[in-house]
Structure formats: structure tokens, C-alpha cells
Amino acid sequence: MGRILAVRANCRHYSFRYLTSLMCRLTALSIMWSVLAVGSGLAGLDKDGPVEKISPELLALYDAYLEAERRGIPFSTSDPLIRIVDDRVIVDATASGNVGDLEADLKALGTRGTASAGRIVSGQLPISAIRALANLQSLRFVRAAASVTHGGTGRKQP
């Protein structure tokens, strides 16, 4: 009987240590999640607002444009899929609500040649206005319009 009581006391001791260790780990995980949640919320913020709705290639294009402007050299991009016309990039923007509101907002930023189909508005956006897109409530997401060719090998097929 004494042996059973000793085992029970031992189990209670290990259970308490296990629970204490588990609580410490849960507290640490809780703190980590809080830090990550705050950090990821701040990572998506820029001085011009949330940039999650702007595609990475447009953000990189904007940064390269500013760098070229800062250095006083002509801007050019090495990405063959991004279509540039003068200092404008052709974009496809998805409306978060009314397409007419998004089209008006894009025109206010200097976008030329807008056309819409469904919830998508396309046009030539000034590269310098890319970061300003983050503040548009009418915008859900924007990306560079993809350039697609349907060419073959140039040889006639028998």
C-alpha cells in the first residue's frame, strides 16, 4: 500500500511539473503569436498605406524607377513580361466594389487608356503612382498586365 501511495505522489509531482512546463510553453507561444500578428500587420504597412494589394513585381518596378530617378539615369526594366509605355506600366486592377469607382480613382492617379471587363480595369498607370494605389479603397488587387504571345518556332509544320 505504501508503494502505491508513493507512485501516486510521484505522478502528482510529475503532473505538476508537466503542467507548469506546458503553461510556460503556452505562454511563450502566445507571446510569439502576438508579436508575429503585430509584426505582420506592420510589415504590410508602408508610409502610403497597406501594400498587400499591390503585386511584388509592381513594387519592385516602383523601387527601381525611384532608384534610376535618384541616380539620374534613364529607367529601364529587365523583365520582358512587364509592358512599359514611356514612364507608364500597363496594369490590371481588380475592383473591391464598384468598377466605375476604381476606374475614376485610377484616372485621378493619371492612368490613361482605361478599359474595363467585369471587375477588372486595365490601363497605363504612371510608374510614379504605384505606391499611391495602396490608399485606394476601390482597389482589391493590382498587377502588371501580362504580356502573352502565341508565336511558334517560326518553322512551318508538315
What CA–CA distance (Å, rounded) separates 150 from 102? 31
- 0.75 surpassed by pTM: no
Residues 58-77: what's their mean pLDDT? 91
Question: Residues with Cβ < 8 Å from 86, sequence gap 6 or more?
Answer: none
Q: For the segment 126-142, what is each residue's pLDDT rounded down to a tens digit?
A: 999 999 999 999 999 99
Residues 44-68: what's their mean pLDDT? 81
35 CA to centre of own chain: 20
What CA–CA distance (Å, rounded) separates 21 from 101? 55
Distances (CA, A) of 120 to 129, 146, 154: 18, 13, 34
